[in-house]
Structures are given as structure tokens and as C-alpha cells.
Amino acid sequence: MLNIDLTGHRAFVCGASKGIGAATAKAFADCGARVTLAARSLAELKQICEQLPGDGHQVLELDLAKTESIEKLLISTEIKTDPYTILVCNAGGPKAGALAEARLDSFADGFQTHVLANQTLVQTLLPGMISKKYGRVINIISTSVKVPIPNLGVSNTIRGAVASWAKSLANELGPFGITVNNVLPGFTETSRLEALVEAAGKRLGKSEDEVIALWKGSVPARRFAQPEETAVAISFLASPLASYINGINLPVDGGRTGTL
Ligand code: NAD
């Protein structure tokens, strides 16, 4: 029988206080990993951490918008003596809105929180992954890297940058036993989705229930995902079972994305 077994692995999960990040921390712990949960709210992280099965989990207050602090904070988690082999790059998505009206600082913020933070995290954890001859970098981005999503122009732009960064990195790091892959969530029941439903309702002049019905109708599965379903895909990519999967974009979207 095949099991997703992360025993012996140490995982660093960003954006672990809510949604897909929190579900991923739980799934990793269920699979036997020791998990460091990072986000801006220590109180929320502690609550989730206390519920994880197994030992050796940690919380870390981390603002991915402040790149200069990431390396400093990570050093405090003993990355040399006890290296991380799994990194999940994940943060809140850029705000919705018309691209033609987007301010330059929203691009700069998105680039900072997603591209520069990811780069700093990888550079900090890479020596440990190389020493362990095992590494899994998994970026949570969006199906917009396949089909741009209306009214999410800044997000579409930033996700495209992350996807190119990840593919380039996958080519460089493959020889070290390290894979770099992207998970592309579809509609997933989290606070991010609530914010998007609200924004779409205002833009389209529809109630939130009408938007939800419209969006569910656009998914072949006719429902939204639970974050735990996305976390299963992330756990598989993090595991030894996915050793020959590198540089991909994996939609977890109930079949919604209209590309081959
Ligand atoms: P969420 O808003 O529920 O959770 C985001 C997590 O990131 C939270 O823990 C939050 O505290 C953390 N975070 C945000 N900014 C941060 C920062 N500067 N520093 C540290 N932590 C920060 O989002 P989610 O639904 O779990 O989505 C995860 C990712 O997947 C997001 O990038 C989102 O845009 C993307 N995505 C989500 C959906 C969906 O329907 N939920 C669809 C497509 C893409």
C-alpha cells in the first residue's frame, strides 16, 4: 500500500494561520512531519499548532512583506543543525480590482510578498536541503497562471512571475534531489474566497449567494474545494512519492480551468 509518509522531515509552512496553509500544516503533521507554522498572527498559529498530532512543531511570527526579516527569523529555528527539507511558499493573494486602475504600489507589495519572500526563503533553506539531498519547494499560486482571472490583474501578473521563477528554479535544483512545483487552487472555501465573492458581488451587482451559485456552476464538480483537499495534493508533492515530479503547475480546481 502506498502511504504519504513525511516521517523524519521538517517542514516550513508559510501562511499557516488560515485556509490552505493551516490545512497543509495539519496534513503534514498527520503524515509524520515536524512542522513550523509561520504567519503574522502568533495567537492564531499557536491555536492551530496545539491541535497538531505528533511532536516537534513550532510557530514563527513572520511577515512575508518584510523580506529583510525573513532570513533573521529563520536563523532562530536552527536551520543548520536541523534543516528543513520541505518549504511551502504561501501568503494572501493580492486584492481584486481592475488592472487599469491598479496602483504601482500594489504590484510592488505583491512582488515583495510573493517573489522576493519566496526567493529569500529558498536561499535561506537551500543549504540544508542540499545537505539532506532532499528538498521540496511547493508554491501555492493560482489557476490564473493558465487562464488569467477577470478582475484579478495584479494577482495574475504576480502569479505569472512566481510560476516563471519556480520553473527556472526547478531546472537549477533538480540535480540536488530538490523539486519545485506549484499548486493552483481553484475556488477553495477560505477567507480569501469570501473576500473574492464579496468583491465580485459588488462589481457585478449580484448578491453573494448569486455569485456563489454562478461560480459553483462553472466548476465541473459543481462545488467549491475544502482546503483539506488542496492540502492532500501539497502533501503528495512534498513526499518521496513525488520524486520525479518537478517544475509542474498542478491545478486542484474540480476541473474548472479550461486548458489541456
Ligand atoms: P487565506 O487568506 O485564507 O490565508 C492566507 C494565509 O496567508 C493566512 O494565514 C494569512 O495570515 C497569511 N498571510 C497573508 N499575508 C501574509 C504576510 N504578509 N506574511 C505572512 N503571512 C501572510 O488564503 P487561502 O485561501 O488559504 O489561499 C492561499 C493562497 O492560494 C493565496 O495566495 C490565494 O490567493 C491563493 N488562492 C486561493 C484561492 C481560494 O479560492 N481560496 C483560489 C486561488 C488561489
What whole-number distance in Å separates Cα of residue 43 and Cα of residue 174? 37
Establish if 59 belongs to a structural domain: yes
Arithmetic mean of pLDDT over the chain: 96
For residue 184, pLDDT beyond 90: yes
Residue to mutate, 13, 14, 20, 157, ligand 1, most ligand atoms under 8 Å from C-beta: 20
Establish if 101 belongs to a structural domain: yes
Establish if 204 belongs to a structural domain: no
Establish if 206 belongs to a structural domain: no
Establish if 95 belongs to a structural domain: yes
> Which structural domain, as residue segments, surrounds residue 182?
10-186+226-252
Closest-CA residue, ligand 1 atom 2, reads 192
CB atoms within 10 A of CB 76: 9
Overall domain count for the chain: 1
Ligand 1 contacts (CB < 6 A) are: 14-15, 17-21, 39-40, 62-65, 90-93, 113, 140, 142, 185, 187-188, 190-193
Establish if 213 belongs to a structural domain: no
For residue 236, pLDDT beyond 80: yes
What whole-number distance in Å separates Cα of residue 249 and Cα of residue 160? 11
CB atoms within 10 A of CB 223: 11
Reported as a pLDDT band with limits 50, 70 and 90, residue 69 is confident
What whole-number distance in Å separates Cα of residue 191 and Cα of residue 21? 12
CATH code, domain carrying 29? 3.40.50.720
pTM for this predicted structure? 0.97
Percent of the chain with pLDDT over 90: 91
Give yes or no for a contact between 229 and 127, defined as CB atoms under 8 angstroms apart: no
Quick: pLDDT tens for 80-94. Answer: 899 999 999 999 999
Establish if 192 belongs to a structural domain: no
For residue 67, pLDDT beyond 90: no
Establish if 72 belongs to a structural domain: yes
